[in-house]
Structure 1
């Protein structure tokens, strides 16, 4: 008999949702790590079914009603949820506070850009930090090597863009597009009211959506050039460029992209 497992998660476009394992895996994944609370945690010793109860809590909350995505990244207020908060809010109900280490985003340039996207809390739960929570152990891990390669390019491009943010680079948008974006936002709100996802995610403003487009366009211009440069590096040296070399190449790619505007 097939067993149907469900996964609750937070997505920017469709807020919190539940999906079968098959549906979850169809979505692009770079790396999946399965973590479990340690068996010797006092809470688990007292109630070995606690992880199951936390999962049920998250699943039923999604089923009971719409949960907006938390662009502000306020991990203490669970009326809205971002990705990390889906897990932390559920376990918190049963006495386990995940994310033993909270990230502090202090870089002025990064804070400015995140603010433009709607982030208001810069002391928060970053997803990758959960891997280092001593309350958890790794049960299994899966990764797609080819997709991770692209992720390295994406990260290198992001890193040099954030270097620019520290030097004063701004996220722009074409002001003449703002009236149209507001109409699209209004349409998205109507779709949200009937439980559907709109072109602009719930909780994201029209200006933030336009800035996101600007970021994506600039990021793609860098990664397209970086991919070609990385292939040439491999042909010249006989090995793929390590990450620090990718960052150097990304700086050159960024300069070329800016000159070609």
Structure 2
């Protein structure tokens, strides 16, 4: 069995540091690198993609609303045409930094509030898919199975890679528990590792009400900004490898 392990990286800004990108790059197989709209300045992103290239980690463009102050976690009622242009702009900026580092943008993943919005907001979902298709329709989209954007992407001929979240709680309907509610973020590395091993082997994850939710997954995300992110990613990787699961990027 083969699975990808991804994390959100490149989210520091200037002298402010968020997470331990170097340690995470030694554990993950794919890096969702910020593009400067929700986090990350040019120097940070340059260092991040160069380090990813050195480690053989695939780079994905993690596009967002233009919302540095809110870390991209606030919904923005963006005009679809404006959002499409913003997505293209972000991919292009990260692609330039990848190019000089000897790597490339290998996939696309929306961040934060945009990730959740395109799951059901048709105008914004179509804008994201259009931007990706116009830029390079061969690039995969990383998102949850069954979301609106996943369906629209597949209809447009874009490959969709199903994602699950190691450090987030799930509702019985398969959606994530909002960060404003109890049980939204998980903290115990061993518990998280056991959940992810069961997810990979059995295709289910336990929801906050104790029921089992079926989740198809090809990539597991551990948020780089979560407390104990490195320990969590290490525990997940160790548990999967000990059970004979191969960790490898879904895109190269």
TM-score (norm 2): 0.27
Of Structure 1 and Structure 2, the greater helix share is in 1
Query: Which structure shows the higher strand fraction?
Result: 2
Max Rg structure: 1
TM-score, normalised to structure 1, is 0.26
